[in-house]
């Protein structure tokens, strides 16, 4: 606020002086025989003072504030790449302008200024949009490495991403948008104990990923204030960065596919790597609870797959050998239907179930 008052005061002073000079210029050009008119300098000084009071900050403070905010919001790697590419663009403009030095003096200046703006803009744009590819090219990385993976809140809270990262399967750069972390922080600050615990666990997951060797995690300040839904912001960011979204959210998965954005769903990965089970195969399980139908027991494999056992109710708590009768893949996961050794007849139909 103090700086703005100083600038406005300077603006008034400069405007008044400029108005007075302009009034004297008008009087000298008109060469009035009746002598200088008093109202002309007063009007010019008043107009100059008003313009300086309101207008000077728009060519001083406002542009500097805008540039300062952009410098604070832009990640340092993006800023460094933009400055380097801007310098290269200006050098190219100077080289092209050197061959046009024989043009007339005025035209030479105009063409040089236009070339500097054009090549500088191209360099700045390339530096901001293709930064990852430049880094990959300089380091000798394969070009598919530069396609980032954008993290969703659900996959952070889920927690399995840490185990996947430790195996070395996540070789691409991970991007954690600031608006996603803000949503995670709001979950951690929730009054509900369960949500609060999940949110704090998510923040710990992010910290573990940042400290993990072999994982490149970037927290970006890219935001889209006009978009309110976090899922839509993630899709927009994926479009701009040319990356994929890592999630466990079924709805986000479908919407992203409709929007043409690549999706990596941990639930799909978990279902894909489950061991294959075929009808007629025997396995040993321990029923833990009763099923929905009469005489049924429910057991779980090590990966969480539900096994519905016909005739397994009397074996609850005991290890029993069962024979697989059918396998059903649902949206929630895979379900295995089996029959205990002593059971006869086909298994009853069961509705629902989760992996």
* Mean pLDDT value across residues 255-275: 84
* 208 vs 329: CA distance, rounded Å: 33
Any domain includes 192: yes
At 314, list the tokens: 């009397």
Q: Could you give the count of Cα atoms lying within 13 Å of 61 in the half-sphere of its Cβ?
A: 16
Residue 333 belongs to domain with CATH number = 2.40.50.140
Residues 109 and 206 in one domain: no
Count of helices and strands (H, E) across the chain:
13, 11
Judged against a pLDDT cut of 60, whether residue 147 lies above it is answered with yes
Mean pLDDT (the chain, rounded): 79
Based on the fold, state whether residues 303 and 330 are members of the same structural domain: yes
pLDDT greater at residue 111 or residue 350: 111
Domain membership flag for residue 222: yes
What's the number of domains the chain is made of?
Answer: 4
Q: Is residue 26 predicted with pLDDT exceeding 70? A: yes
Mean pLDDT of 24-49: 69
List Cα–Cα distances, 232 to 57, 167, 174, 237, in angstroms: 37, 30, 18, 9
Residue 6's pLDDT band, with cuts at 50, 70 and 90, is: confident
Note the pLDDT of residue 331. Answer: 61
pLDDT at 348 over 50: no
- Do residue 268 and residue 151 come from a single domain? yes
Predicted pLDDT at 344: 39
Q: Is residue 107 part of a domain?
A: yes
Which of 272, 297, 313 is the last residue in one of the domains? 272
- Could you tell me the residue range of the domain that residue 97 belongs to? 74-132
How much is the average pLDDT of 63-73?
71
The pLDDT score that the predictor gives to residue 246 is 92
Residue 47 pLDDT more than 70?
Answer: yes
Instruction: pLDDT band for 349, please (50, 70, 90 cuts).
Output: very low
Beta-bridge mates of residue 336: 307, 327
Q: How many residues does the chain have?
A: 355
**% of the chain residues with pLDDT over 70:** 82
Q: Which of 248, 272, 296 delimits the end of a domain? A: 272
Which residue is it, tokens 């609850």? 316
Average pLDDT over residues 310-319: 88
Domain match, 248 and 203 both? yes
Residues of the chain above pLDDT 90, percent: 8
194-248: pLDDT as tens digits: 888 988 998 999 988 888 887 888 888 888 888 888 889 999 888 888 889 999 8
Whether pLDDT at 75 is above 60: yes
Mean pLDDT in residue range 83-101 = 84
Cα angle for residues 282, 283, 284 (degrees, 5° grid)? 135
Query: Does residue 353 carry a pLDDT above 50?
Result: no
Q: Residue 228: inside a domain, yes or no?
A: yes
Q: Would the pLDDT of 36 be above 70?
A: no
Q: What is the pLDDT of residue 245?
A: 92
């Amino acid at each position: 606020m103090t700086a703005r008052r100083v600038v406005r005061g300077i603006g008034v002073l400069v405007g008044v002086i400029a108005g007075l000079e302009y009034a004297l210029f008008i009087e000298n050009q008109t060469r009035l025989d009746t002598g200088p008119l008093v109202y002309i300098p007063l009007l010019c000084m008043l107009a100059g003072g008003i313009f300086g009071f309101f207008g000077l900050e728009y060519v001083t403070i406002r542009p500097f504030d805008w540039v300062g905010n952009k410098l604070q919001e832009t990640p340092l790697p993006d800023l460094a790449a933009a400055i380097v590419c801007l310098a290269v663009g200006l050098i190219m403009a100077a080289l092209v302008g050197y061959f046009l030095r024989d043009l007339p003096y005025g035209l030479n200046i105009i063409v040089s200024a236009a070339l500097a703006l054009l090549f500088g803009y191209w360099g700045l744009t390339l530096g901001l949009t293709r930064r990852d590819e430049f880094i990959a090219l300089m380091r000798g990385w394969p070009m598919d490495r530069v396609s980032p993976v954008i993290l969703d809140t659900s996959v952070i809270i889920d927690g399995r991403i840490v185990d996947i990262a430790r195996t070395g399967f996540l070789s691409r750069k991970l991007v954690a948008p600031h608006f996603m972390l803000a949503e995670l922080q709001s979950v951690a600050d929730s009054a509900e104990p369960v949500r609060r615990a999940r949110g704090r666990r998510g923040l710990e997951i992010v910290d573990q990923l940042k400290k993990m060797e072999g994982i490149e995690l970037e927290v970006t300040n890219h935001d889209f204030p006009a978009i309110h839904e976090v899922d839509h912001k993630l899709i927009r960011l994926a479009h701009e960065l040319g990356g994929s979204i890592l999630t466990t959210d079924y709805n986000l998965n479908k919407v992203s596919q409709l929007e043409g954005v690549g999706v990596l769903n941990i639930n799909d990965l978990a279902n894909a790597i489950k061991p294959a089970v075929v009808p007629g195969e025997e396995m040993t399980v321990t029923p833990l609870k009763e099923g929905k139908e009469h005489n049924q027991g429910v057991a779980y494999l090590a990966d969480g797959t539900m096994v519905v056992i016909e005739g397994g109710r009397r074996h609850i708590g005991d290890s029993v050998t069962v024979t697989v009768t059918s396998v059903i893949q649902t949206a929630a996961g895979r379900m295995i239907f089996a029959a205990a050794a002593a059971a006869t007849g086909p298994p009853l139909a069961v509705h629902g179930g989760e992996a």
